[in-house]
Structure 1
Amino acid sequence: MDLNTRWFKDKVLEKTKKSLESKGYDVYIVKDKSEAKKKVISLIEAKSTVGVGGSQTLLQCDILNSLREGDYNFLDRYKEGLTPSEVKEVHKEAFFSDYYLTSSNAITESGELVNLDGLGNRVAAMIYGPKKVIVVVGENKIVRDIDSAYERVRKYVAPINCKRLNMDNPCVKVSECVNCSSENRICNHLVVTFRQNTKGRGIVVLVKEEIGY
C-alpha cells in the first residue's frame, strides 16, 4: 500500500475511533493481526469465562488458539466432536460469559455497528448478557454510513458467508441477497447498535488490515 492510501485509511480509522469513543466504547487501533491478538488477550483477565461468536476475523487473527492454550474457561463452539445440541448449549453459556469476542459485519465512520445474523445468538450477546464484549474489526469493514453498511451486509457479507458454509441459497447463485425464503437463510436478524450504554462493556479493536468478511 502506498503512503497516500495509508494516510487516507489512517484518517478514516481515527475518525471512526473518535466516533466510537463518543458512543461509549473503549477503542484501540493496532497495525496488524498479530497486534490484534496481543491486544485482545491483554484485555482478558485470567480465569475468566470467554465466549465467542462465529467469526472469520477471530480465526484469522489466531485468537481462538490463544484462548485454548491460556488460563481461561473458554467456551469453544469450534471444539472438534461437538454435536449440534452441544453447540447450542455453548451458545447459551456464552450469553453469561465474562468476555464475549466477535467481529462486526460493518462499522460506520459515525460509530454504528451493523450486524446480520442467522440464529441471532451473536447479536443477542453483543447487545446484552456478557459482562464485556470485545469486537475485532479489520479496516475493510469500515463504511461511510448506515446505508453503505446495509449494502455491505446484504450484498457482500451474506452471500460470501453462504458460499463459505456451502449453503445452496439463491444468493450463492447470483452473488447478492435476493431476500429469499430459503430454509437455510442465514440473514434473519439485522441489528444496528447506535451506542454502548454500559460504561466499560464495549471494546473495539480496529486493525490496519483487511480481515474477515
Structure 2
Amino acid sequence: MDERIRKVILNLQQNNMAGYYVENKKELLKLIDTLMRSGEKVGCGDSVTLEETGVFDFVRCNDFNFYDKYQSGLTTDEKRAIYLKNFDVDTFLTGTNAITLDGKLFNIDGNGSRVAPMLYGPKQVIVVVGINKLVDTVDDAVYRTRQIAAPLDAKRLKKDTPCTKLDKCIDCRHKQRICNDFVLIAGQFVKDRIKVIIVNESYGF
C-alpha cells in the first residue's frame, strides 16, 4: 500500500470514519459484499465511479431492496420520492469528488440529493473512491472538484453551462449550474458510519 493511502486511512480512523484499501474492482465488490446484508434497503448517489466499478450492477443482481434512481421512465416526483427514501436506508452507496490526506471528504452537489444522505440518515454510508481523487489539502479538493470534476460532470449531464464549453469553472450564475452545495465532511459522531474504500485504480471524474 502506498504511504499516502496508508496516511489517509489512518486519518479517516482518527476522524471516526473507517478506511479500507483494495487493489481493483474485483476486490472492491468482494469487500462490499461483506459490508452489506441480504435484504437491506440500499440507496445511492449519482456516481460515475459506482457505475465504472460495477457496484450498481452488483446491487441490482443480488438480494437487496435497491432504490434505483436510474430506472428508466422515472418522473421528477418519483425521483424525489427515492431521494427521500434514501434517508432511511440501511446502506447508502456513493462516490466522492475528493479525499484529502488528513481524511476529509469534499463534494459539490447540484440539488443536495447525494450529499444530504451522506451527512444524515442512512445507518451506513459506503464511499468508493479511486486514487485519482486523492489530494493533499482541502484547497486542492475544492480546486480539483470545481476545475476538473464539475465541468466533466456538467458535460455528462448535457448541461449548457459555460464550463462545458470552456473546460473550466468560472463560478457562473447559469440556471443549469450544478455547483450549488459545497460540503466538507471532516468527521463523524457515529464511529465507522461512513466507510471509505480506496481503490488502487482511477475511476470517475
Scaled to the shorter chain, the TM-score interval is over 0.9
What is the CA RMSD across the aligned residues, in angstroms? 1.0
| Residue aligning to 2:129 | 137
Out of 157, 166, 170, the residue aligned to residue 178 of structure 1 is 170
SS at 1:29 equivalent: strand
What 5-or-longer segments of structure 2 have no aligned partner?
Answer: none
Distance 1:122 1:149 in 2: 17
Q: CA deviation at 1:84?
A: 2.1
Deviation by residue 1:128-182 (Cα, 9 ceiling, x = unmatched): 0111000000011000000100100111111010111111100111111111111
Q: Which amino acid aligns with 1:16?
A: V
| Residue aligning to 1:124 | 116
| Residue aligning to 1:160 | 152
Bigger mean CA deviation after superposition, 150-159 or 38-47: 38-47
Deviation by residue 1:23-77 (Cα, 9 ceiling, x = unmatched): 1111110001121122112211111100000001110111111111111110000
Distance 1:189 1:73 in 2: 28
2:78 equivalent to 1:89: no
Q: Percent identity between the aligned chains?
A: 40
SS at 2:81 equivalent: helix
Bigger mean CA deviation after superposition, 32-41 or 44-53: 32-41
| Residue aligning to 2:14 | 22
What 5-or-longer segments of structure 1 have no aligned partner?
Answer: 1-6
Out of 194, 197, 210, the residue aligned to residue 202 of structure 2 is 210
Q: Which amino acid aligns with 1:153?
A: T
Out of 32, 41, 61, the residue aligned to residue 40 of structure 1 is 32
2:65 equivalent to 1:73: yes
TM-score by length of 1: 0.94
SS at 1:95 equivalent: helix
SS at 1:121 equivalent: coil
Q: Which amino acid aligns with 2:116?
A: A
4+ runs of 1 displaced by more than 4 Å?
A: none
Aligned residues: 205
Distance 1:104 1:80 in 2: 24
Distance 2:122 2:131 in 1: 25
SS at 1:134 equivalent: strand
Distance 1:194 1:86 in 2: 32
| Residue aligning to 1:4 | none
Distance 2:116 2:187 in 1: 15
SS at 1:178 equivalent: coil
Q: Which amino acid aligns with 2:127?
A: V
SS at 1:137 equivalent: strand
Out of 173, 176, 182, the residue aligned to residue 190 of structure 1 is 182
Distance 2:155 2:113 in 1: 21
Out of 151, 162, 171, the residue aligned to residue 143 of structure 2 is 151
Distance 1:176 1:100 in 2: 30
